[in-house]
C-alpha cells in the first residue's frame, strides 16, 4: 500500500501541468498544482505510516490531503481517503472485495462532502463507473487484476464522457454550456490514481 501511494504521488507530480491546463480551461487553474503539493506532503508522511494497517495508512493520507491541498479537491479527496480508511480498519492486506468496499466508501464520502452525484462533470464520473465495473467483474468471478482492468477502462470512458456534459458543480458550473467539450480535471486525476493502482498490483 505504501509503494502504491508513493507511485500515485509520483504520477500526480508528473501530470501536474496537464491537470492544471485542464483546470485553466474550466476551473481555477490550480488543480494540478494543489494535487501535486498535497501528494508531495503525502509522500513525506508515508514513512511514518509504514508499520500501520491499511486503514490507518489511508486515514493518514486523507488527513494530510485535507490539510495541504487547496480548493475543493483537498476536502473531497481527503474525505475519500479517510472513508476508504474506515472501510479498511485493521486490515493488513486487501483483496478485490476489500478494495471494492474501500472505493464504495470513498465515493460515498465524495457524494456527501461535495453534495454531488454522477453526471455533473466531477471526479464521480470516473469513480462511479469504475466501481460498477469492478463490482461486476468480481461478481462474475474475475480475479482482482482483471476486475480492476475493467474498472480503469470504465473510468477512462467516464473521463471522455465529461467532455460531453455541462458542469453543474464547482467553478466550472459558471461556464454553463461553454463547459461542454472540456474534460473534467477531477475525473482525470481520479483516473490517474486508478491507473497507478492497477500498474502497481
The pLDDT tens digits along the chain (201 residues) read: 999 999 999 999 999 999 999 999 999 899 999 999 999 999 999 999 999 999 999 999 999 999 999 888 999 999 999 999 999 999 999 999 999 999 999 999 999 999 999 999 999 999 999 999 999 999 999 999 999 999 999 999 999 999 999 999 888 888 999 999 999 999 999 999 999 999 999
Which candidate, 35, 61, 38, 37, places its Cα nearest to that of 48? 61
Q: Residue 170 is placed in which grid cell? A: 464547482
Whether the model pTM is above 0.85? yes
How confident is the model at residue 42, as a pLDDT?
A: 98
CATH number at residue 133: 1.25.40.340
Q: 162 lies in which domain range?
A: 2-199
Q: Residue 107 is placed in which grid cell? A: 465515493
Give the list of residues 6+ apart from residue 47 with CB closer than 8 angstroms, or none. Answer: none
| CA dist 13 → 37, 38, 55, 119 (Å) | 8, 10, 24, 27
Whole-angstrom Cα distance, residue 15 to residue 199? 16
- The answer for 193, left when phi > 0, alpha when psi is -120 to 50, beta otherwise, is alpha
Q: Residue 75 is placed in which grid cell? A: 476536502
| CA dist 10 → 6, 92, 193, 195 (Å) | 6, 23, 10, 13
How confident is the model at residue 165, as a pLDDT?
A: 96
Q: For 177, which DSSP code?
A: G
How confident is the model at residue 72, as a pLDDT?
A: 86
CB 51 within 8 Å of CB 42: no
Q: Residue 95 is placed in which grid cell? A: 483483496
How confident is the model at residue 171, as a pLDDT?
A: 84
| Total tally of structural domains belonging to the chain | 1
Amino acid at each position: 500500500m505504501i509503494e502504491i501511494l508513493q507511485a500515485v504521488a509520483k504520477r500526480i507530480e508528473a501530470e501536474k501541468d496537464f491537470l492544471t491546463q485542464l483546470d485553466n480551461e474550466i476551473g481555477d487553474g490550480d488543480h494540478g498544482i494543489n494535487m501535486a503539493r498535497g501528494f508531495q506532503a503525502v509522500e513525506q508522511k508515508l514513512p511514518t505510516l509504514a508499520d500501520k494497517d491499511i486503514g490507518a495508512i489511508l486515514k493518514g493520507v486523507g488527513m494530510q490531503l485535507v490539510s495541504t491541498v487547496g480548493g475543493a479537491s483537498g476536502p473531497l479527496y481527503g474525505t475519500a481517503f479517510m472513508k476508504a480508511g474506515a472501510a479498511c480498519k485493521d486490515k493488513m492486506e486487501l483483496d478485490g472485495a476489500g478494495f471494492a468496499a474501500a472505493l464504495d466508501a470513498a465515493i460515498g464520502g465524495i457524494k456527501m462532502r461535495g453534495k454531488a452525484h454522477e453526471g455533473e462533470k466531477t471526479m464521480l464520473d470516473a469513480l462511479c463507473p469504475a466501481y460498477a465495473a469492478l463490482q461486476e467483474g468480481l461478481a462474475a468471478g474475475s480475479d482482482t487484476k482483471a476486475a480492476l482492468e475493467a474498472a480503469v477502462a470504465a473510468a477512462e470512458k467516464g473521463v471522455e464522457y465529461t467532455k460531453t456534459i455541462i458542469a453543474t458543480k464547482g467553478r466550472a458550473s459558471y461556464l454553463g454550456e461553454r463547459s461542454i467539450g472540456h474534460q473534467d480535471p477531477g475525473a482525470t486525476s481520479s483516473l490517474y490514481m486508478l491507473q497507478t493502482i492497477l500498474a502497481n498490483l
